């Protein structure tokens, strides 16, 4: 699943969750999305409970999605958070 997500949008959503979200164990939560980083801050994680995206150095990312429908729903949530 390469080149299916906009890394700029991923970072924008991560920043919005950090700014507007509520702190929970292991990260922040906002509008159905959980955001966290690893211990050194080089990797960013976004998850809606079904799909998890790991965004790393140089905008490389890995997606763990059980189905294409789940990935489509995840992308819709990203767009919603990014634009509202």
**For residue 19, is it within any domain?**
yes
Whether 1 has a pLDDT exceeding 90, the answer reads no
**For residue 2, is it within any domain?**
no
State residue 34's pLDDT score: 97
DSSP E strands, the chain = 22-24, 27-30, 33-37, 44-47, 52-55, 61-64
User: In a 10 Å sphere around its CB, with 0-12 CB exposed, 13-18 middle and 19+ buried, how is residue 17 labelled?
Assistant: buried
**For residue 1, is it within any domain?**
no
Domain that holds residue 74: 7-83
How many distinct structural domains can be found in the chain?
1
Q: What is the pLDDT of residues 40-72, one digit of tens each?
A: 878 999 999 999 999 988 878 999 999 999 999
**For residue 36, is it within any domain?**
yes
CA distances in angstroms from 57 to 1, 6, 40, 54, listed in the order given: 18, 15, 12, 10
């Amino acid at each position: 699943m390469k080149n299916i997500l906009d890394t700029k949008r991923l970072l924008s959503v991560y920043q919005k969750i950090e700014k507007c979200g509520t702190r929970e164990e292991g990260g922040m939560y906002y509008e159905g999305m959980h955001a966290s980083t690893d211990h050194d801050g080089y990797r960013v994680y976004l998850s809606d409970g079904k799909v998890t995206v790991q965004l790393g150095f140089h905008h490389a990312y890995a997606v763990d999605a059980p189905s294409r429908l789940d990935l489509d729903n995840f992308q819709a949530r990203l767009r919603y958070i990014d634009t509202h």
